Amino acid sequence: MTDWDAAYANGAHIPGADGYVPRWTEDAAAFRAAHPPQDLGRGHLFLPDGDPRGLMVFIHGGYWMRFDPSVWSHLAAGALAAGWSCLMPGYPLAPEARIAGMTRIVADQVAQAASQVAGPIALSGHSAGGHLAARLICPDVLPDEVAGRVTACLPISALSDLRPLMRTKMNGTLRLDADEARAESPALLEPRMGIPVTAWVGGAERPEFIRQSRLLADAWAGLGAATDCVIDPGRHHFDVIEALADPASPLMRRLLDQSGWR
C-alpha cells in the first residue's frame, strides 16, 4: 500500500456519491415523521406495533468524525417490519472525543435500551459503526447481563484494525496513537464466545474494506468464535446498508434469524 488516504476514500469511487447523504437525510426525516422514536439522549429508539420480538442495534458510520442517528432513521424499517425494536445510538465525535470514549457511550445506550426492551439483542453497525458493533462484544464493554442476550453481531464494512488509519490525513482529527489503535481494534482483541459474528462487506467496496472484514472474521475464527465473512456482490460502501430496510433481505435474515428466540 502506497497511498493510505486513497485506500479509505469511498466517495471518490462511487458514482453519484454526493447525492447519498441528502437523500438519506430526507428519507430519515420522513421515516421519523411516520414512526416517532423515543429519545435516549444522543440516540433514537424505534418501537414496533405490539411487543417487540427483540432489540436490533444499528450504529452509524462516518469515520467517528461525522453524522448522527438522524441521518439513518429510515434504516430501522426492516427491524420494525420484522417486529423488532431498533436502537440507533449516537456518540460524540472526533476530535472532541476519543474512540475509546465513543465505545463506552454506545455501550451505555445499548444497556439503557436493553432495560426497556426484552428478548434477544442483535448488533450491527456500518464502517466506523461496524467497528463499534464488533467492539461491543469484546469482554470489557457491555454488562454481562446485557451481553448474555446478544444473539448476533453483524459489522458491515467494518474497520477492525485501526493501526493503518494512523497513516492517513484523517488521523489529524482522530488523534489515534499506537496504544489506542491496538486497544480499540477488534481484530486484535478477543470476542465473547457464543455470539455468531458475520463480517458483511460490499463486493464493489475499496479493497481495504474487504481486507478489514476478512481480517476480523479470520482473526476471531482463530480464537474459536463462530464467524463468517459475506461479500455482497455489486454493493459499494454507500448502498450496502440499504438491505437493513428490508426485513426479507439476506443481511437482515442473517442478523435476526440467528436468534433462537424467534
Q: Where are the domains of the chain?
A: 4-256
| Residue 261: band (very low, low, confident or very high) from pLDDT cuts 50, 70, 90 | very low
Count of CB atoms situated within 10 Å of the CB of 22: 10
For residues 180 and 176, give the distance between their C-alpha atoms in angstroms, rounded to a whole number: 6
pLDDT tens, residue by residue, 166-193: 999 999 999 999 999 999 999 999 999 9
- Asked if the model's pLDDT at residue 202 lies above 80, the reply is yes
Residues 142-154 have a mean pLDDT of 98
The answer to whether residues 99 and 34 touch, using CB atoms and an 8 Å cutoff, is: no
The gap between the terminal CA atoms of the chain, to the nearest Å, is: 45
Instruction: Count Cα atoms within 13 angstroms, Cβ side, for 230.
Output: 15
C-alpha cell at 250: 439476506
Domain 4-256 classification at class level: alpha beta
The pLDDT-based confidence of 131 (bands split at 50, 70, 90) is very high
Work out the mean pLDDT of the chain and round it to a whole number.
97
> In terms of Cα–Cα distance, which of 112, 143, 101, 125 is closest to 45?
112
Quick one: what percent of the chain has pLDDT higher than 90?
Answer: 97
Q: How confident is the model at residue 2 (pLDDT cuts 50, 70, 90)?
A: confident
Statement: the pTM of the whole predicted model exceeds 0.95? yes
Question: What are the φ/ψ torsions at residue 198 (nearest 5 degrees)?
Answer: -120, 115
